[in-house]
Chains A and B, each alone.
Chain A
Amino acid sequence: MIELVRDTYRYRELIWALALKELKIRYKRSVLGFMWALLNPALLMVVLTLVFSTVMRFAIPHYAIFLLSVLLPWTFFSQSLSYAVESIVSNGDLIKKIRVPKLVFPMAAVVSNIINLLLSLIPLALLVPLLRHPFYWTWVYLPVPLLALAIFTLGMTFFFAAANVYYRDVSHILQILLSAWFYLTPIIYPLDLIPARYQWIFKLNPMIYVINGFRLAVYYGKLPKAPSIVASFVCAFLSLFLGFAIFRKYQDNFVFYV
């Protein structure tokens, strides 16, 4: 764990440069370039708002904000994983030729997606007054769930990136897993929708605690209760410990399998 912190600090410039490279390549050759990082979520919001305010009407007021407050963090999570799962394999050529710390690759995937997430919060912040939803002071609490989410995601990316080196099926399995996980997490629906006797099953999902803070702060204007905050960080650090332990154990052998 100390090693993780030390290497992250030591290679911070490299991680940052790789993250920026990823963003640059993602938006290259498009006329609007980096603007897409803002436009993409903004346009998604327009679509969602139109759909849920005119076509499908839910009992939840300002459903678009209800949804986006956790959809954006979820998108960060799933995008980070989708990028990171291939990060070691796709940098195989490099790993075979230069001695390079392997952890920078999944890390760069997470960092580049954090930048995307932060940018996507800007259109969300504009949408809130536009829909006449109250702009709560609890927005300032967002860095806390952001931190838990980033740590949780990082741990998962370490695990999946390492596993994918050995079995390329992992990247396919991940996509299925992510879509199942998406529907099992109260993102498009509130947790109350689940019958009380089944709720305990849903509460086994670590993602609930990790993204809970986002919806509470943005949509309800509340802060999560202490046990929920503790649970989110317990899940986050468990993910990081386990993910990095596995990654670290196998990283010297990656070069033989990429």
Chain B
Amino acid sequence: MSSSAVAIRLENVTQRFRVIQERPDTVRELFSKFFRHQSSYHDFEAVKNASFEVPQGQMLGLIGRNGSGKSTILKIVSGVYRPTSGTVQVQGSLAPLIELGAGFHHELTGRENIMLNGLLMGYSKREMLGRQQGIIDFAEIGDFIDSPVKQYSSGMYMRLAFSVATEVDPQILVIDEILAVGDAGFQDKCFERIRNFRRAGKTILMVTHNMAQVAQHCDRAILVDKGSIIADGLPDDVIEVYKSLLALEAVAAH
């Protein structure tokens, strides 16, 4: 297997969270817990022994119910979480679109936020200056670019955030349920850009609840349930498995 063709590789990745029932937020609680020898947490495995590879240029959709571990997988791939065990390899620059505008500061202008966000994603000042105009043009916010982003409409805010995250030309794009926002016109524009990304041979990993999007855009889908990967294959097949899982659940609920 040539490693250059693999964009993302997860091997036996487990992410354990310590779920604290009564969080000792203060030193007093810490001491009282310590002296009473209480354990007030339990460990919860959000992702269990997950392994998969994403070849370069593939568009992969992660599907599953709320709380199944999809977003945790995205955060592991993005490097936000360091997994409890297992290995993660990512080849190439990665742009996380986990929450649009996460790096924005309300008091800063659009232009200042473009720079700050770019630097936060690991790009240099020079690179960001070079891409600035492209970002502003794609976001279509005109003169507002020099106003603080707190004055933006939510649509403008999202457009700018999407524009920053994608204009930097990452090799891997990680998208978490963000294309549900914005008006239809802008959504089309986003998908147009994502299609361009695919044409350029970039890798895309997305989480969505919109099965039509998965069926229409993805090359492959992975179904995650209770932290484990239970189906992996062509979108239509995996969506079928997901539907039967939901149906089974509905029957069990009755």
Contact = CB atoms under 8 A, between A and B. Distances in A.
Given A13-B125, A168-B25, A98 B102 contact: yes
A203 interface: no
Contacts, number: 62
B26 interface: yes
Contacts of B24: 167
Given A21-B108, A99-B80, A94 B103 contact: yes
Interface in B1-52: 17-18, 24-28, 30
B interface residue count range (under 10 / 10 to 19 / 20 to 34 / 35 or more): 20 to 34
Interface of B: 17-18, 24-28, 30, 75, 78-82, 96, 98-99, 102-103, 105, 107-108, 112, 115-116, 119-121, 124-125
A133 interface: no
Contacts of B30: 167
Contacts of A100: 120
A97 B119 contact: no
Contact of B18 (A13, A14, A168, A256): A256
B124 A13 contact: yes
A25 interface: yes
A22 to B, nearest CB: 10
Nearest to A173: B27
Given A11-B119, A28-B107, A99-B80, 5 more contacts: A25-B105, A25-B108, A99-B78, A167-B30, A255-B81
Contact of A94 (B25, B107, B120): B120
Given A93-B102, A97-B99, A98-B103, A14 B80 contact: no
17 contacts: A13-B125, A14-B120, A17-B125, A18-B116, A21-B112, A25-B107, A25-B108, A93-B102, A94-B102, A94-B103, A95-B80, A96-B80, A97-B99, A98-B121, A167-B27, A256-B17, A256-B18
A5 B139 CA distance: 37
A96 B75 CA distance: 8
A100 B80 CA distance: 8
A192 interface: no
Contacts of A97: 80, 96, 98-99, 102-103
Nearest to B100: A97
Contact of B82 (A21, A95, A252): A252
A59 B124 CA distance: 55
A98 B17 contact: no
Nearest to A168: B25
Nearest to B77: A99
Interface in A83-136: 93-100
A168 B26 contact: yes
A98 B80 contact: yes
Contacts of A21: 105, 108, 112, 116
Contacts of A25: 105, 107-108
A3 interface: no
Given A14-B120, A21-B105, A99 B79 contact: yes
Contacts of B17: 256
A58 B171 CA distance: 68
A167 B25 contact: yes
B79 to A, nearest CB: 3
Contacts of A93: 102
B107 A98 contact: no
A169 B116 CA distance: 30
A14 B96 contact: no
Interface in A1-60: 11, 13-14, 17-18, 21, 24-25, 28
A169 B105 contact: no
A96 to B, nearest CB: 6
A252 B24 CA distance: 20
Contact of B96 (A11, A24, A28, A99): A99
Contacts of B112: 21
Q: Which 8 A-B pairs have the closest CB atoms?
A: A99-B79, A97-B102, A14-B119, A169-B27, A252-B82, A13-B125, A97-B98, A97-B99
